[in-house]
A and B are shown apart, each in its own frame.
Chain A
Amino acid sequence: MEFSQEIKDKISKLIEKYPAGQQKSALLPVLHLVQDAHNNWLDVPVMDAVATALDLAPIEVYEVVTFYSMYNTRPVGKYLLEVCRTGPCMLNGSDQIIEYIKEKLNIKEGETTTDGLFTLKPAECLGACGYAPMMQLGKTYREHLTREKIDAIIEECRNSAAQLN
């Protein structure tokens, strides 16, 4: 596969942030960029194209993609609900929030709803412990979660998906 000219230009910009000859350093930001542009996951052709763009062996890309939790190696729903379950969120009821989402969307942890809209992915500490329980949704944090807030978030996602269609 080949990246669009827009992506190629952005990759060149990212490489400029690092010392000459160290284009590998741009790997993490480049992976964020192409993942955002490819339905929020990275398949092998995309990873291989990243390797070509940065003049790396494909394995150098695969080993990085599988190490970091934010890169998805399988398709995910349009809205990825990443609910924190670590200590401070647990103390404030994250277990119940995760159970509620499972029940409401009828999916297990790591699964995607049949309409392809939602994936539930329990996450480890996201650095929002004072605003627990919380989740990451795209580029934003949703904090002080309650059942009502989960209802509203899911409604909001469904509405925005309907508008896009």
Chain B
Amino acid sequence: MKLLLDKAHIEGIISYDVYRREGGYESAAKAFKMTPEAIVDEVKKSGLRGRGGAGFPTGMKWSFIAKPEGIPRYLVVNADESEPGTFKDRYLMEFIPHLLIEGMIISSFALGANTSYIYIRGEYAWITDILDHAIDEAKANGWLGKNIQGTGYDLEIYVHRGAGAYICGEETALLESLEGKRGNPRLKPPFPAVKGAWGCPTVVNNVETIAAVTPIIRIGGDEYAKIGVGKSTGTKLISACGNINKPGIYEIDMTISVEQFIYDDAYCGGIANGKRLKACIPGGSSVPILPANLLLTTASGQPRMMNYESLADGGFITGSMMGSGGFIVLDEDQCIVRHTMTLAHFYFHESCGQCSPCREGTGWLYDILKKIEYGRGKMADIDLLWDVQKNIEGNTICPLGDAAAWPVAAAIRHFRDEFEWHILHPEEAQTRNYGLAHYADELPLVAG
């Protein structure tokens, strides 16, 4: 079942003319015949959850927006896609930009916003040009500007390019950055729904979330909610990468198993070079890494499924999270210590420096991991790593601290023997990798 990428293969779908010919902007036309409240209700009924990583119900987020008289409201689309393993929003914007623009028109109308922004990461420079062009086309065809389609509703959309900072994916850091400041997250409350961009009520939503509003209005919230399972409704884009045969973007309806997703030729097509699966981070680098056995089967023995609930089954002890859908696969030859070290460096580099547990702690994590990786670690360093990550988690203004702590915690939780091996055999660890140990000895090379 595809709702976002169903037309992605059509030649020329990047242009307004082809997108329109294929039924594009019909959802916007339908939305303009509805009241803003009715649109919010459809999104609530759809069960759509934020696709950026947190999974918060979108309709509920929209209903929090304050509506004081005479004060503008803003919709800001978060296109600061920077979570390692995640490259799905890029695909939507690069190949079907009008799906996002249409979703923004509907969402802005529902929220009563007359100006909306796309905050895009600075490195996606060529995509900025694609979006600017799509906005111009939409405007030339009467879907943006004054008195859109004769409804009396006005809307302008602008693209705002960031300049290289992972932290700006956090919604209040993003708003600071939109205002021309350093991307330091704000203390909450007040939440953006009350005081967001320039002190005005603001909704910040991920690209995929806003793009999904277009098919929701087309088929209706109830129909959308029938897709998927439980509270994992609709479709989700998964960006699969790492050591697999077919890295790329897959739209899934959240009813397939993780095993099927990894081994089926319709998805990842198995582990590259005939290797075995060692581990996987299923939802972007911040969520806990799982060894192969716990990835494919929950602790209670059920097949693990590709949805919010099943991926989180077992909490952080034996489970992980859906997160942003950045699915990173590690084969048997990969070193968990080195991999964790590169991620620790990432968070150290990206910490905004505002809260000391994160500013100092991320550097400590990286230094200790580097010591272990390069054969200078001591046994006590493993406990020290655990202690440092524990002291970052929950003690910072924004979730970057947690995001830096969780990968380290999960690596130690599930792969402690590999850390110990590095410390006990520092010279051997420079020449070969630890391998699979007990994580995947009995797992198949192919599905079934």
User: Which residues of A are at the interface with B, using a C-beta cutoff of 8 A?
Assistant: 17-19, 22, 24-29, 31-32, 54, 60, 63-64, 67-71, 85-88, 90-92, 124-132, 136, 139-140
* B161–A87 CB distance below 8 A: no
Residue of B nearest to A136 (CB): B123
Selected contact of B122 from candidates A25, A70, A92, A132, CB within 8 Å? A70
A-B contact pairs, 21 of them (CB 8 A): A19-B115, A19-B198, A22-B179, A22-B198, A25-B178, A64-B180, A64-B182, A67-B183, A68-B122, A68-B164, A87-B339, A87-B343, A88-B242, A90-B342, A91-B330, A92-B243, A124-B166, A124-B350, A125-B83, A129-B239, A129-B242
B145 at the binding interface (Cβ < 8 Å): no
Which 3 pairs across A and B sit closest by C-beta, in order of nearness? A27-B180, A69-B164, A68-B163
Closest to A22 in B: B198
Given contacts A86-B346, A90-B342, A125-B82, whether A24 and B179 have CB atoms under 8 Å apart is yes
Q: Are A85 and B342 in contact (CB under 8 A)?
A: yes
Query: Which of A17, A68, A92 touches B160 (beta carbons < 8 Å)?
Result: A17
| Inter-subunit contact B84/A88 (CB<8 Å) | yes
A71 — nearest CB in chain B belongs to which residue? B163
Interface residues on B, range: 35 or more
A140 touching B126 in the complex, CB below 8 Å, given contacts A19-B72, A87-B285, A125-B166: yes
Q: Which residues of chain A come closer than 8 Å to B126, judged between CB atoms?
A: 139-140
A28 touches B162 (CB 8 A): yes
**Nearest chain-B residue to A129 (Cβ)?**
B241
Is B247 an interface residue, CB under 8 A from the partner? yes
Q: What are the residues of chain A within 8 A of B342 when measuring CB–CB?
A: 85-87, 90
Cβ of B103 < 8 Å from any Cβ of A?
no
A130 is contacted by which of B163, B179, B198, B239 (Cβ under 8 Å)? Answer: B239
B-chain residues with CB within 8 Å of residue A25 when the two chains form the complex: 160, 178-180, 198
Q: Closest CB of chain B to A89's CB: distance in Å? A: 9
Q: How far is the CB of A87 from chain B (nearest CB, A)?
A: 5
Residues from chain A with a CB closer than 8 A to the CB of B346 are 86-87, 124-125
Chain B contacts for A131, CB-based, 8 A: 87, 247
Smallest CB gap from B326: residue in A: A129
Interchain CA distance A74-B62 in the complex, whole Å: 44
Closest CB in chain B relative to A36 CB, distance in Å: 10
Determine if A129 and B198 form an interchain contact, defined as CB atoms under 8 angstroms apart: no
User: Chain A residues near B330 (CB, 8 Å)?
Assistant: 91
How many angstroms from the CA of A127 to the CA of B86 in the assembled complex? 6
Residues of A within 8 A of B338 (CB): 90
Asked if B85 and A87 make an inter-chain contact with CB atoms under 8 angstroms apart, the answer reads yes
A124 to chain B minimum Cβ distance, whole angstroms, is: 5
As a 0/1 sequence over residues 357 to 384 of chain B, the CB contacts with chain A under 8 angstroms (1 = contact) are 0000000000000000000000000000
Name which residue of chain B comes closest to A91, CB basis: B242
**Which B residues are in CB contact (< 8 Å) with A88?**
84-85, 241-242, 328
User: Is the CB–CB distance between B328 and A91 below 8 Å?
Assistant: yes
Within the complex, the shortest CB–CB distance from A81 to chain B, in Å, comes to 14
Chain A nearest CB, measured from B135 CB (Å): 11
Is B334 on the interface with A (CB-CB < 8 A)? yes
For residue A38, give the distance in angstroms from its CB to the closest CB of chain B.
15
Question: Do residues B182 and A129 form an inter-chain contact, with CB atoms below 8 A?
Answer: no
User: CB within 8 Å of A: which of B115-159?
Assistant: 115, 121-126, 158
- A26 cross-chain contacts in B, Cβ below 8 A: 180
Q: Which residues of A contact B166 (CB under 8 A)?
A: 124-125
Cβ–Cβ contact B163 & A69, under 8 A = yes
B339 contacts A90, C-beta separation under 8 Å: yes
Min CB gap A22→B, angstroms: 6
Which residue of A is nearest B129, CB measured? A139
- What are the residues of chain A within 8 A of B339 when measuring CB–CB? 87, 90-91
